Structures are given as structure tokens and as C-alpha cells.
Chains A and B, each alone.
Chain A
Amino acid sequence: GESVGLHLPTLSVQEGDNSIINCAYSNSASDYFIWYKQESGKGPQFIIDIRSNMDKRQGQRVTVLLNKTVKHLSLQIAATQPGDSAVYFCAETRNNAGNMLTFGGGTRLMVKP
């Protein structure tokens, strides 16, 4: 089965609020995690990544948190905007898997004006 999964299929937030998208993984050998954003009709777009030797990484308006104890990571989007509406995927890879990514099932983020 898949080693990466998401808790919620759909998340609806008010414009300006913060969004939190969660992801669970099952393989303790996973050592690198990535978040992708996919807008309708487009391919996934890299957002941010984190290595397993870190527990937090920040980008522009986005923060990824990694909790290796419970095999959980999250993507936080600050001040969510309508342009953030998309499906978000977490993905993982392992040293012994080369650069091959395993994607989870995705969470749809809907931003209400």
C-alpha cells in the first residue's frame, strides 16, 4: 500500500485565515518530504521540502512541520488567498529509493472570499 496519506480530502477556509494541511506517512525510513500544489488542469508545482533531520522549515507564507515521532507532517499557509485554492499533495522519498517520489492522495483547499 501507499506509504503516504492525508487526513482530510477537503479543507475550506476563509480568505485571510491560516490553513493547515496534514499528512501521515508510515515508513520510518522516509527521509525527505515534499509538498506540491496542483491547480486545476495543471501539473503539480513544488512548494517546499524538508529533510528528516529538521522539524521545521519556512518559506514565503508557508511552513512545513515534521514530527518523526508520530510520522506526521503538515503544511501551514499563512493569510490564505484565493490563489491558494488547489489540491495539495505531500510526497516522500528515501535514500534507498533514489529520487523517486511517492505521492499521497491529496487535500483540496477551498478559499472562501
Chain B
Amino acid sequence: EAGVAQSPRYKIIEKRQSVAFWCNPISGHATLYWYQQILGQGPKLLIQFQNNGVVDDSQLPKDRFSAERLKGVDSTLKIQPAKLEDSAVYLCASRGPGRRRGEQYFGPGTRLTVT
């Protein structure tokens, strides 16, 4: 099966600019996650969707980050305005029905550099 697709792979922006990331999960996977991975650290969950509904966004900095999954398939994560500390890899993951809780499939990520 095709994996989780993400684009772009790399993005460089200046602080205070806006940026958006796109994710296409594995077909049939109802659960979608966005993670932020700062260099040298483990991924940190930002938001979890079940179909097109938000399950948890408690760690999403809502003053600048937003995410949507309007049709329950693709998802976008937006940062506006970006700060230097947002420099990280943004990972999208999905999980299919019947899969074990921890069996998430990750995309390659988008590496964001904020200058």
C-alpha cells in the first residue's frame, strides 16, 4: 500500500511569514496525527483527527497554528505567523481501523526552517 504522503519536503521562510503543510494519509486510515519534531528530540503530538473531527488539540499552539481535515482524508497544518522556535520537522501519521494503538504510519515529514 502507498505510504503517507507529505509536501513540501523542505520549506524555508522568514519569521512572521505564513506556511502550510499538506498530508495525504494511507487510504482508509480514519485517524490522522500531526507531530512536531525538534532536532534531537522525539516527536510531539500537535493534533489528532478521527475522520474530520478533532480528537485532541491540547498541545497545538492555537494562537498561531491551525489544522483542518475537511473531508476526512487530506489534512493541512498552517502556521501564521511563524517564529524562530517553529523550526522543526512536521510529521504526519495515520492509523487504520483494527490496528494496534501504537501502530502509526508516518510520512517523511516537512523540514521547516524559520530564519
Q: Mark B90-115, 1 if CB is under 8 A from A, else 0.
A: 01010100001111111111000000
Question: Is A1 in the interface zone, CB < 8 Å from B?
Answer: no
Which residue of A has the minimal Cβ distance to B89? A43
- How many A-B contacts are there with CB distance less than 8 Å? 62
CB distance A105 to B40 under 8 Å? yes
Question: Is A101 in the interface zone, CB < 8 Å from B?
Answer: yes
Chain B residues with CB under 8 Å of A33's CB are 102
Question: Is A42 in the interface zone, CB < 8 Å from B?
Answer: yes
How many chain B residues have a CB neighbour from A under 8 Å?
Answer: 24
Q: Which of A33, A99, A106 has the most CB of B within 10 A?
A: A99
Chain A residues with CB under 8 Å of B31's CB are 99
Contact count band on A: 20 to 34
Q: Which residues of A contact B (CB under 8 A)?
A: 4, 32-34, 41-46, 49, 89, 91, 93, 98-106
Q: Which residues of B contact A (CB under 8 A)?
A: 4, 31, 40-45, 48, 55-56, 91, 93, 95, 100-109
Besides A93-B102, A101-B102, 18 more A-B contacts (Cβ < 8 Å) are: A42-B106, A43-B4, A43-B91, A43-B108, A43-B109, A44-B91, A46-B102, A46-B103, A93-B101, A98-B48, A98-B55, A99-B48, A99-B95, A99-B102, A100-B45, A100-B48, A104-B42, A105-B40
